[in-house]
């Protein structure tokens, strides 16, 4: 890891990037490739959330338990029996960590020597009086600054939560044994994914939330996925208010209230998955006149500018679109604008998102409710997977596809896929939205037969016809 260009060796940089995660590296590389001298300032483990404690480790364990489910479901094919089980969870976690270490070395630490214009400065950065940037007591002079310090798991305001040894998404992924029972508080994408991982690994899981599973998703999808998780033994408790949580001899008990009655939900372990908090408290933002919202997220405009001239921000620290690819996208815009006059704008139109449950939930664009809230008159189609030949051949019809179109222009403005292989199909819908395609044009497009993505064509045709009356490939 390079320390060349430490404050004492080089006092002036074209750009200082605070944070050495996905957004920070994206900003630093973008600027270096444009010829700028860059100070990349990192505190803690290099690489940030995604590679260390987020995307990579969680998806590795999601894949690790897939064969267990596939073996249990093998009997859907006549004459087929299979068996799979966890024989050493510690070994699975160690393999996951080896992958994390490998990718961190290859995609972060190992990249630094390739960029002579990037100087890595280890230490915590903060703004002092008049906005001066300091790292470890030394001032760092830079013409422009990008803040990309990311976020961390947030604890909910449940009385007693500080007295219980709860897990978060980071510590849960490092457990070397599977708890006998697990209470997952929060049913967003992190809660849903990890609930299924531990249920498949052998834990008795209860998923508890105020508003139900994936409350921002299409209601048809949330309802269906709740049922599929229930089929795997995951209990769902929603529509409740949290009263308190307390430590017990066996683990913990969460007391919740619903319909005027209080009940206790007990488990040997508790996983909190109720959102994330931006890493801004220690930055001294007020000294620089950099404003935040009530949660501490840095306020930025569509050019990624903060409220202080010359200072930009990107990634989770802004609170918007908390996906690693959007962090990298925003950071490229921030770095380019910082150096070249604010010519680019952040545009999340056509941004795909995936929840890696099984079946996957993949979405892009408006939900029906969001479109109506925006004043757009809509028309929708809903196609059950029992109409998709790929699902029939796989004897796995769990899921549905919902499309949202502008009622006036017939243009596709939203697509939502719940399917075992839905993640690999959503980009087609994203491109259709970006291209301004109507649902008629999507329905007339040639798709390969016996693929999951063909479901988009069938769902588009469902706006105006009954695809159940079509022969194979007749559309």
201 and 313, same domain (yes or no): no
User: For each of the chain's 475 residues, which pLDDT tens digit applies?
Assistant: 344 444 444 459 999 999 999 999 999 999 999 999 999 999 989 999 999 999 999 999 999 999 999 999 999 999 999 999 999 999 999 999 999 999 999 999 999 999 999 999 999 999 998 889 999 889 999 999 999 999 999 999 999 999 999 999 999 999 999 999 999 999 999 999 999 999 999 999 999 999 999 999 999 999 999 999 999 999 999 999 999 999 999 999 999 999 999 999 999 999 999 999 999 999 999 999 999 999 999 999 999 999 999 999 999 999 999 999 999 999 999 999 999 999 999 999 999 999 999 999 999 999 999 999 999 999 999 999 999 999 999 999 999 999 999 999 999 999 999 999 999 999 999 999 999 999 999 999 999 999 999 999 999 999 999 888 776 765 6
225 and 176, same domain (yes or no): yes
286 and 430, same domain (yes or no): no
Residue 374 located in a structural domain:
yes
Structure tokens at 431: 């491109």
200 and 187, same domain (yes or no): yes
The string of pLDDT tens digits covering residues 129-165 is: 888 999 988 999 999 999 999 999 999 999 999 999 9
264's enclosing H/E stretch is: strand 261-267
265 and 308, same domain (yes or no): no
DSSP character string of 170-198? HHHTT-SS--SEEEEE--SHHHHHHHHHH
- Domains contained in the chain, number: 3
Q: How far is CA 249 from CA 164, 206, 255, 268, in A?
A: 11, 19, 16, 9
Residue 322 located in a structural domain:
yes
363 and 401, same domain (yes or no): yes
Residue 86 located in a structural domain:
no
Residue 380 located in a structural domain:
yes
266 and 147, same domain (yes or no): no
pLDDT attached to residue 474: 56
Task: State residue 174 phi and psi, 5-degree precision.
Answer: -105, 0
Question: At which of 217, 245, 274 does a domain end?
Answer: 274
Query: Rg of the Cα trace of the chain?
Result: 24
Residue 90 located in a structural domain:
no
Residue 325 located in a structural domain:
yes
DSSP character string of 394-444? TT----EEEEEEETTT-BEEEEEEEETTGGGTHHHHHHHHHTT-BHHHHHT
Residue 385 located in a structural domain:
yes
Residue 236 located in a structural domain:
yes
Residue 184 sits in a domain whose CATH number is 3.50.50.60
Q: How far apart are CA 150 and CA 281, in angstroms?
A: 12
Residue 361 sits in a domain whose CATH number is 3.30.390.30
147 and 201, same domain (yes or no): no
Closest CA to 58 of 391, 283, 240, 324: 324
195 and 231, same domain (yes or no): yes
Question: At which of 318, 340, 362 does a domain end?
Answer: 340
Q: How far apart are CA 39 and CA 32, in angstroms?
A: 10
368 and 454, same domain (yes or no): yes
Question: At which of 286, 309, 340 does a domain end?
Answer: 340
The string of pLDDT tens digits covering residues 10-21 is: 459 999 999 999
148 and 202, same domain (yes or no): no
254 and 318, same domain (yes or no): no
pLDDT attached to residue 137: 87
The string of pLDDT tens digits covering residues 435-458 is: 999 999 999 999 999 999 999 999
Structural domain boundaries, residue 228: 161-274
Tokens 């970006």 correspond to 434
Extended beta strands in 311-411, E state: 311-313, 352-355, 360-365, 378-384, 400-406
Closest CA to 264 of 280, 246, 249, 278: 246
Q: How far is CA 404 from CA 311, 380, 407, 447, 461, in A?
A: 38, 5, 9, 20, 12
């Amino acid at each position: 890891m390079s320390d060349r260009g430490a404050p004492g060796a080089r006092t002036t940089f074209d750009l200082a990037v605070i944070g050495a995660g996905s957004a920070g590296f994206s900003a630093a590389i973008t600027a270096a490739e444009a010829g700028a001298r860059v100070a990349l300032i990192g505190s803690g483990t290099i690489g940030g959330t995604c590679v260390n404690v987020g995307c990579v480790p969680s998806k590795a364990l999601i894949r690790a338990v897939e064969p267990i489910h596939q073996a249990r479901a093998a009997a859907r094919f006549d004459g087929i029996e299979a068996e799979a089980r966890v024989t050493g969870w510690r070994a699975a976690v160690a393999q996951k960590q080896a992958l994390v270490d490998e990718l961190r070395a290859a995609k972060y630490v190992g990249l630094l020597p390739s960029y002579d214009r990037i100087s890595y400065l280890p230490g915590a950065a903060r703004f002092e009086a008049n906005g001066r940037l300091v790292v470890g007591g030394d001032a760092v002079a830079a013409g422009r600054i990008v803040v990309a310090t990311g976020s961390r798991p947030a604890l909910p305001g449940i009385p007693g939560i500080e007295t219980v040894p709860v897990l978060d998404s980071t510590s849960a992924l490092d457990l070397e044994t599977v708890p006998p029972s697990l209470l997952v508080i929060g049913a967003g994408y992190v809660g849903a994914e990890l609930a299924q991982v531990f249920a498949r690994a052998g834990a008795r899981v209860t998923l508890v939330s105020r508003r139900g599973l994936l409350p921002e998703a299409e209601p048809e999808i949330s309802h269906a996925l709740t049922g599929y998780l229930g089929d795997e033994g995951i209990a769902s408790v929603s529509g409740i208010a949290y009263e308190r949580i307390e430590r017990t001899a066996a683990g913990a008990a969460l007391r919740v209230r619903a319909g005027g009655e209080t009940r206790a939900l007990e488990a040997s372990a508790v996983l909190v998955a109720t959102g994330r908090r931006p890493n801004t408290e220690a930055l001294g933002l007020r000294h620089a006149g950099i404003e935040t919202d009530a949660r501490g997220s840095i306020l930025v405009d569509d050019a990624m500018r903060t409220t202080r001239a010359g200072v930009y921000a990107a990634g989770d620290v802004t609170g918007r679109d908390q996906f690693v690819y959007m962090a990298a996208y925003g950071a490229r815009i921030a770095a380019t604008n910082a150096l070249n006059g604010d010519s680019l704008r952040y545009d999340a139109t056509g941004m795909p998102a995936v929840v890696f449950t099984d079946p996957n939930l993949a979405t892009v664009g408006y939900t029906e409710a969001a479109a109506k809230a925006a004043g757009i008159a809509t028309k929708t189609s809903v196609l059950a997977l029992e109409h998709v030949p790929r699902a029939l051949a796989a004897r796995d019809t769990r899921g549905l596809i919902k499309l949202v179109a502008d009622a006036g222009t017939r243009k596709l403005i939203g697509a939502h896929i719940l399917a075992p292989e839905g993640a690999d199909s959503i980009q087609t819908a994203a491109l259709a939205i970006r291209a301004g395609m109507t649902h008629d044009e999507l329905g007339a497009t040639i798709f390969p037969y016996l693929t999951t993505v063909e479901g988009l064509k069938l769902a588009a045709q469902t706006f105006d016809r009954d695809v159940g009356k079509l022969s194979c490939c007749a559309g």
